[in-house]
Amino acid sequence: MFDQTNKYKNHGHFFFNPGDNLREKSSEVPDQPGVYYIMRLADGGIDLVYIGASGTVDQKGVFSSQLLRDRLNNEHDGMKWQHYFDKKIKEEKIDALDIYWFVTFDENNQDLPGYVEGILMQQYFETYGTLPPWNKKFPS
């Protein structure tokens, strides 16, 4: 969906279906800085519902906690992502979620996750004139 992500060789995705355990489904996601986005599969359609970033860098260039795997298992909108997904799947009659992740800062790339998140958010905003439905504000 986003050409910007094509350069990141360390990437992947997984499906989250009703009844799944998020910690188990995200076990292959690395604990590295990066970005992720969530696609909603419902009623035969697919649409992007969230763009996020993980990893806060300090003055010395060291990344703190909440790298990709931890960020995906932390909170959104005041609840754990697991509960948020379960709630949204039920409310929005979602068949599955497809969660894509990209390591943006490693030995091959030195792109700060917040910067890449901003590019992706800008592209989405230019296309749709709004933020993705599950993004309440930007920057968050």
Span 34-66, pLDDT tens digits: 999 999 999 999 999 999 999 888 999 889 778
Residue matched to tokens 């379960």 = 86
Q: In whole angstroms, how far apart are CA 50 and each of 3, 55, 64?
A: 17, 17, 22
Q: What pLDDT is recorded for position 140? A: 62
Residue 81 has pLDDT above 90, yes or no: yes
pTM for the structure as a whole? 0.95
Residue closest to 113 by CA, chosen among 74, 60, 62, 56? 56
Q: What pLDDT is recorded for position 18? A: 96
- Give the rounded distance of the alpha carbon of 10 from its chain centre: 14
Residue 93 has pLDDT above 80, yes or no: yes
Tokens of 21: 């355990």
